[in-house]
Structures are given as C-alpha cells and as structure tokens.
Copies of this chain bind each other. A is one copy, B any other.
Amino acid sequence: MSMEQILVAKPPENSEPTPPAAKGMRADARRNREKLLEVAAAVFSERGIEGSLEDIARRAGVGIGTLYRHFPTREHLVEVVYRREVESLCAAAGELSLNHAPDVALEEWMQRFVGYIAAKRGMANSLRMLVNTNSELFAESSGMVSVALRNLVEAAAGQDLIRRDIDSTDLLHALFTIYSIPDAPDWHERSRRLVKLLMDGLRWGAGAKHAP
C-alpha cells in the first residue's frame, strides 16, 4: 500500500477541460512547450509517470516556472503527452496504409501498438487511473485507436488479404491481452509473437469466407 493509494480524494474538481495549445502563442513559448513535451515523453517513459518535473524542465533547458506556466499541474502534462502519443500512433496507421500493402500495414501497425503498450507497462496502473478519472480522454483516445484499427482491417479485408469475417473490436481485445502477460524479461518478444500469430490467423482463409 503506497501513500498515493491513500491520498486519493480532493473533490472531483473538474479542472478546466484541457490546457491551451493555441496558435497565437509567441514563438519562444511554442518552442518551449514543444521541447517540454518532447522531454516529458522521454522522462515519463524512462522514469515512469512520477518522474521529476524539475528534471524535465532542466533537461528541456527551461526554468521550472516555464514548465508550470505551460502545464499547471502534473496531470495536465501527462494528459497532453499521452494524447499526443495516441495521436501519433493513430496517424501512423494512415501513413503505413499509403506505403504498404494493406495486410503489411495492418501487421506493422499492430506491432507498433503492442510496442506502445509495452513501453507503458510499468505505469499500467497509473495510466489506467488517469484514464479512469478522465473519461473524456479515455473516450477520445480509445475511439481513435478503434477507428485506426478498423480502417486498417477493412482495407486489408477489402482486398481479400485477410479473412473478411473479422471484427476489429475482437482484434483489439486480443491485442490488449498483452496487459495480462505476466512480467518477464522476454515479454516483448512474446508480444511480437502474439501479433504474428494473430496475423497468421487473419490471413488464413483470406479470399474465402470459411476454410483455406
């Protein structure tokens, strides 16, 4: 039992929606904001979500005051970093579609998705909590992911590169089983194999509704 598990409360406090990323920012401000997000992503991924904010500011080469001006609370920062990662993951789906055969794009994207979850493994609980207490964020990000995956699946199915009788939601669930693979040094390898396995299953029977 950690203190964080105890210190939960504070009235629901719907902190104003989301901090600004306005366009009318001064150039230096935009630069700093960007740098902070970049560094924060790195720090969070290597130290976990509770990495030192002063460290982030330091590494970004800005004063701590600047960090706090851009992201008034740690949660704001975490949320923006998280949102961006999900967005870039989803954007990758589009790019992959343009440069690869649909089935290859699907497979590669699933690998990335799994890698993404992988990186978050250590902070699974923290993120779950974030996502639990911010249903809007959850809805948006999970929606984006579903759409990205669905598009990939439909494209591949549309060209008979994978079976047609597949529900992309099921596939997403299957990918999420990653979370339940017990901690193990080789778990990254295992997750890659899981994706390959899924792809084999998807390709099997491609071009025919049932059986090879």
Contacts and interface: CB of A to CB of B under 8 A. Distances in A.
Interface residues of A, number: 28
Interface string A124-139: 1110111001100000
Interface stretch (A6-14, A22-30, A151-159): A6-14
Contact of A7 (B9, B126, B134): B126
A3 interface: yes
Nearest to A122: B9
Interface stretch (A58-66, A70-78, A170-178): A70-78
A9 B1 CA distance: 9
Interface in A60-111: 73-75, 78
A15 B125 CA distance: 18
- Stoichiometry, as copies per complex, reads 2
B3 A15 contact: no
A8 B134 contact: no
Given A2-B13, A13-B2, A8 B126 contact: yes
Contact of A6 (B12, B13, B129): B129
Contacts of A4: 4, 7-10
Given A2-B9, A7-B126, 17 more contacts: A1-B12, A1-B13, A1-B75, A1-B130, A1-B133, A4-B4, A4-B8, A5-B133, A6-B75, A6-B129, A6-B130, A7-B50, A9-B123, A9-B124, A9-B125, A9-B126, A10-B125
5 A-B pairs with the lowest CB-CB distances in the bound complex, closest first: A9-B125, A4-B7, A1-B133, A2-B10, A8-B129
